[in-house]
A and B are shown apart, each in its own frame.
Chain A
Amino acid sequence: MKLLKVELKRFWSRRITLIAPGVFALLLVLGIGIAFTQSSADPPDPDYVPQPDAGCVEFTIQAREEGDPQLANLSDDEIRESCTFEDNPDRRVWVTDLLSLTRSDDWSEARIAEQEFNGVAIPGTEYREAKRGFDSALPGIATMVLILAVVLGGSFVGAEYRAGTVENLLLWEPRRIKVILTKCLSGGLGAALVGGLLLVFFTGLFFLLASVRGTLEGADSRFVLDVVIVIARSMAVTALFFTLAVAIATLAKNTTAAVVAVLGWFIVSNIIIALVAKWFQPFELFTNANAVIGGGEVAKTVKILGGSDVAVFSHGPWTAFAIVALWALIPTIVAAFVFHRRDLT
């Protein structure tokens, strides 16, 4: 408990705990400032008449003709109406841009009626598509916050190896497993709080901008709750990313290794997986982190008749959370073990 307090205090006294989120917040303000200048100050055009989207209408009518059961009893007018989007001629900021509100019933099914094997058709498996989570401004910023947590976590431990203070600490608390777990816990809590504050700050700015230069339309209590939940989930994932960085920095005895490893993985993982191990995609760190944050489902790729790939449901956000937790905990356990046995010279 005492050690936890000491480490928490240290977390908050570090310069980087202020500077890194400060720079981050500054970039947010800058980004939103650009959005502000890009948006029009003109009031909505009173003569604006919403037009149905021509492509959408054509496509839907064609699908109905081809016998899509869900469209069978729609009239042309109804189709035109459903293809009329709330498009605004002014480039105004919509607060709902914060989250794209894909609802839980938005998923459809990908049926694979049959597969062919040696020229013989065999009954196929039924799949459904993975539900997409919220994916727009807020979850995007939340992903950047994860990288920030990695910088904070890596340097939380890296600084200790640089200054050699781990050795000193162990002369006061020799239980090394306790020492490393306390670092994960204290810094994880701290990083989650920093991340949460940044997201709240961003949301606040966005609401402000939308109310000045756009519309708060759609921001009902359900929307606000969605935003709060996204932030809460981000905080949990942020703490796990901090822990992951602590583990890598402990193993490598420096900050850079942790940052390079995670950032490098963030940049190249998709390419590597696509080339080498497609089956691994549903277990990839950032894929699952995004699913947790956006509340979506994770997709996997299956081959359907004709050899083409489709992305179908693999697992839901809770499993995704468990997978992110494993990504953080397995390295932490390894690091704790190595640290426990390590000679400090």
Chain B
Amino acid sequence: MQQPVIDVRGLRKDFRNGVAAIDGLDIQIEAGGRVHGFLGPNGAGKTTTIRCLLGLIRPSAGDVKLFGVDVASNLPSIIGRIGALVETPKFFPNFSGRKNLQMLADVVGVRSVAIDEALDTVGLSDRSGDKFGTYSLGMKQRLAIAATLLKDPELIILDEPANGLDPAGIVEIRQLIRSLGSSGRTVFVSSHQLGEVQQTCDEVMIISKGRLIRQGPVSEMVSLGASNKQIVTVRDPAQAIRILNDAGFNVQPVPEPETVHVEIPAARADEITKALAAHQVFLSGMRPAEASLESVFLELTEGQGEL
């Protein structure tokens, strides 16, 4: 059997202020070019888990192994195989982007070519000579992603990599993450942006309050949330709501113009048409609400998300 790249068992972290940020978490991730989403609401413990993985904080209990090696005692032997971005980009503001990367690269003797490549990959080549302090949020984030690529790592851990990126940047990063995955690396991405995970990840873990609440292939998760909701477009939503309510449908008014949400399985959507047509109201469109991770997420974390 192949060794898991990430093997976390019974992880707990109690901060000194009494917050139990992680409360008995197990994660097993097999090697192979897959992208693993690590999803959870704010304060769920994603960043704390990642810091434990990287030896930045010391778990209160539990074992953390990467590549089969115990992080607490032997991290130096495997750190060269790991690239990571934790929370926010952290660099010296008075040094240029390139110099910041160079300093990290020199710690382990990475070739300068790798710096050029990494800068190129994140589209920062032409601004790499500018001081980090003058970068925009998105540029800082790109530099941090470039830093994770320098070691040509087998395992890439990204904590909310899309933070601060514009739509074009998000698409680029999404593609980058996918290509990292398909080049045989294991990618572990945390996010609370559900659409993001849905579009980039193969597998997803959902945590809340420091506990794993669901794990599986993204496709499976999505089908879990397969919706029974139909989005109906009519000229006069108020009238439609009245008619459908009278006919016993579960209707939700929504703020969008000319739109009504009706709770009913797609197979029975024709009943909506019939009920409305009977009152001389004709809908101009109807489609099933997209099955999304969001719904699964909200459902699963309901009542657990708030602190």
Contacts and interface: CB of A to CB of B under 8 A. Distances in A.
A2 B107 contact: yes
Interface string B64-104: 00000000000110010010101010111111000100011
Contacts, number: 72
Contacts of A165: 90-92
A343 interface: yes
Interface of B: 15, 48, 51, 54-58, 75-76, 79, 82, 84, 86, 88, 90-95, 99, 103-104, 106-109, 147, 151
Interface stretch (A40-48, A98-106, A168-176, A324-332): A168-176
26 contacts: A2-B106, A2-B107, A3-B107, A6-B106, A9-B103, A163-B90, A163-B92, A163-B93, A165-B90, A165-B92, A167-B90, A168-B91, A168-B104, A169-B104, A169-B107, A170-B54, A170-B56, A171-B54, A171-B56, A172-B107, A173-B76, A174-B75, A174-B79, A341-B58, A343-B15, A345-B56
A267 interface: no
A341 B57 CA distance: 8
Interface string A13-26: 11100000000000
Contacts of A10: 92, 103
B90 A168 contact: yes
Contacts of B109: 2
Contact of B58 (A163, A172, A343): A343
A63 B245 CA distance: 120
Nearest to A165: B90
B56 A343 contact: yes
Contacts of B82: 171
Interface residues of A, number: 26
A193 B36 CA distance: 50
Contacts of A50: none
* List of 8 A-B pairs having minimum Cβ-Cβ separation, nearest first: A164-B90, A343-B57, A172-B107, A344-B56, A174-B75, A6-B106, A165-B90, A168-B90
Contacts of A343: 15, 51, 56-58
B94 to A, nearest CB: 6
A6 B103 CA distance: 6
Given A170-B56, A343-B56, A175 B76 contact: yes
Interface string A331-345: 000000000010111
A13 B99 contact: yes
Given A170-B56, A344-B51, A344-B57, 12 more contacts: A5-B106, A6-B107, A163-B91, A164-B88, A164-B90, A168-B90, A171-B54, A172-B79, A174-B76, A174-B79, A343-B51, A343-B56
